[in-house]
Amino acid sequence: MKLELAKGDITQEATEAIGNAANSRLAGGGGVDGAIHRSGGHEIMKELREKYRGCPTGSAVITGGGHLKAKYVIHAVGPVYSGKPKDAELLAGAYQASLELCSKHRIRSIAFPSISTGVYGYPVREAAPIALNTVKRYLTSHSEIERVRFVLFDDQTYLAYQEVYSKFQM
């Protein structure tokens, strides 16, 4: 298993799947969600509308990748930050559900954004350990997933994840 960090644009990743920080209506939006839909084309939204009627917070659904390099997009719905303990459970659930979809669909590599830390307001220093620990825990018992890469958009987010990652024994 391999867990990596990178700074960049997730829409350019060539992993088998990329994670999308989606909203519960699966209606497209700004930030990562908007970038993925713009780069991937209308096929992604068409598939979402045909297959799903939304997605609960803490869960995920899967579509094809449209025009992206990635074959799949896993649309994970993280929480809008409220400062309540349930936020951490829901954020971990979004990553867990995404990884379960990878296992189910035999996806060996995925790139994740930092879910919920943009417009949903989750403090990145709180979100990073939840994201990384959830993924690390899942990978210890699921060798079918060979690579998970966190693709982080800006320096602040990358540094917060790097701080947590540097303490891992991989």
Length of the chain: 170
pLDDT in tens, 110-163: 999 999 999 999 999 999 999 999 999 999 999 999 999 999 999 999 999 999
Instruction: Band the pLDDT of 169: cuts 50, 70, 90.
Output: low
> 33 catalytic, yes or no?
yes
Domain residue extents for the chain: 3-164
Over 90: is that where the pLDDT of 60 sits?
Answer: yes
* Residue ranges in the chain assigned as alpha helix (H): 31-40, 42-51, 85-104, 124-140, 155-165
pTM of the complete model:
0.96
- Single out the catalytic residue among 9, 33, 87, 155: 33
* Residue ranges in 3-123 assigned as alpha helix (H): 31-40, 42-51, 85-104
Over 90: is that where the pLDDT of 69 sits?
Answer: yes
Backbone CA torsion sign across 91, 31, 28, 4: negative
Name the token pair of 147. 């690579």
What distance in Å separates the CA atoms of residue 44 and residue 95, rounded to the nearest whole number?
Answer: 20
- The topology (CATH level 3) of 3-164 is Leucine Aminopeptidase, subunit E; domain 1 (3.40.220)
pLDDT in tens, 16-50: 999 999 999 999 888 999 999 999 999 999 999 99
